[in-house]
Structure 1
């Protein structure tokens, strides 16, 4: 059954209320039409309509915090599992009001027709301290492969790394040492006493590990 109604973003319906014009007992997956302007778009209500106003607001906050770009109203409706569009507008209003009265240095802004959670401009000088820090260089695929071999097989020599990868490892290995991700741990008891390599504390910090035992194992890597 399709029911056509216009949802005004400025007067959102309360949580759990059936949209005006919907017959009593209308199914939750009924299709309604919502508008944020002259154009209409069809919205099929989903599991999000069963969520409380508080849960919607909390999930909305998490989405806006984690998003790397502004989120439009239709996108938020989808990410929140399709509650009534007016309820998303109400959640945005509630979040904005909460931020205005709280001591958190955050603001909710509409940017190019989409929503974004931003730091308060008053604290721009604090954010600039972070931006002025040197950003870590990106690691190439070859360096990541070499780093993985060292992490799982350390202490390991350059010859062992080259035997596994099938290519010369010298330049990549030197680059990892220069970045502080790999360190020399000693020498192997072999002819020529080749250097042995292992990962560093910087490696653990860079990849969010507390110890080498936290590296994923074969079984974990094969899990979907």
Structure 2
């Protein structure tokens, strides 16, 4: 079996990020071996300027995608605008979750100063955040964190790639 050929076929057929554990299960091959092959594929695709497809890593998932350089041509073919915009409220809430995770709805609302139940529901529906547990406090509030879809949406390999958080001096005074 040509493992890289099978991996490429799986990633192409699935279309969405495919978790490395699922790939290992399907091929009945160890995680380290699968990871090595996928990382080699990433390097090979990125080094070959003639390829239009690349393998991208999003957390523990991998996806076959098109090179960013070709976006305008794909957009022209589809004759539609890719709309990935989020409302200001959604972006504010998502930023808080990304930088403070895991975080409760109450903590998000304290920072934003407004209710955010509908925004959180929308972010969950889009797959950008998920409930990762409950606090052992009265009411057992849910705690939220970002997902692999969040990483994919923003083109990140891991949460550590988020830009450094810079707090303006005026904002720092408000926080204390």
Output the TM-score relative to the length of structure 2: 0.49
Higher helix share: 2
Q: TM-score under structure 1 normalisation?
A: 0.39
